[in-house]
Amino acid sequence: MRALHLVPDAFSAPDCDQLCALARAAPQADAGLVGGQTAHSIRRADLVWLADHPAADWVMDRMVRIVAEANRESFGFDLQDFAESAQIARYGAERQGHFDWHSDIGAGALAAKRKLTIVVQLSDPAEYEGGQLELRPDSSITTAPRQKGMAMVFPSFVLHRVTPVTAGERLSLTLWSHGPAFR
């Protein structure tokens, strides 16, 4: 099993620009943690949930196809559904946007069933500094590529973080697939 499955050009530059524009125009919620807690020392970002935007329904179809292919090629997990909305996260330098080390599996009813996480890089890497997506599948740290439109799929139990954005803003698209408990 690989720790990270990459899909270059999963989303075109115009697709990414369209999603960034949607996120900037929509009301944004302060990002929290599983269970509705807020802890800015752990996570500081703004979120837009795509389920609230019917014009973005096409995104879910594409992400489901990408995850299914990644699962067949790299993971072989028992996946059952996508029970949560995709979200666009905005990490802005004005708030030192970041998300400290965490896994996406948590105590919540849906978070406990997360199996694979997909993150799509929406921003052009030249538009921000910092904001690296780093994964820690073992004792080493892997830095994810920053290519606009790149999809990264990894097991939801893998520790990962977004380092603080120090200039500009980083936008990314995230979704989780769900299934029965690991055993």
Q: What is the CATH number of the domain that holds 28?
A: 2.60.120.620
CB count in 10 Å sphere of residue 101: 11
Residue type (1 letter), 134: E
Q: Kindly provide the residue ranges of all beta strands, DSSP E only, lying in 50-141, ordered along the sequence.
A: 87-92, 98-102, 114-121, 128-130, 133-136
Phi and psi angles of residue 80, each rounded to the nearest 5 degrees, phi first: -120, -40
Give the pLDDT confidence of 100-138 residue by residue, as tens digits: 999 999 888 899 999 999 999 999 999 999 999 999 999
Number of residues that this document lists for the chain: 183
* Distance from chain centroid for Cα 81: 17
Domain total in the chain: 1
Asked if residue 154 is part of any domain, the answer here is yes
Asked if residue 173 is part of any domain, the answer here is yes
Asked if residue 94 is part of any domain, the answer here is yes
Asked if residue 37 is part of any domain, the answer here is no
More confident: 32 or 3: 3
Asked if residue 14 is part of any domain, the answer here is yes
pLDDT at 36: 61
162 beta partners: 99, 133
Mean per-residue pLDDT of the chain: 91
| C-alpha span between 179 and 83 (Å, rounded) | 10
Asked if residue 17 is part of any domain, the answer here is yes
Distances (CA, A) of 94 to 15, 26, 30, 133, 168: 26, 19, 14, 19, 8
Band (pLDDT 50/70/90 cuts) for residue 98 is confident
Eight-state DSSP code of residue 45: -
Find tokens 């905005």 and name the residue: 90
Eight-state DSSP code of residue 73: I
Give the pLDDT confidence of 51-93 residue by residue, as tens digits: 999 889 999 999 999 999 999 999 999 999 999 999 999 999 9
Band (pLDDT 50/70/90 cuts) for residue 148 is very high
Residue 18 is part of which domain span?
Answer: 5-32+42-178
Range 146-171 average pLDDT? 97
pLDDT at 74: 96
Asked if residue 114 is part of any domain, the answer here is yes
pLDDT at 37: 61
Asked if residue 183 is part of any domain, the answer here is no
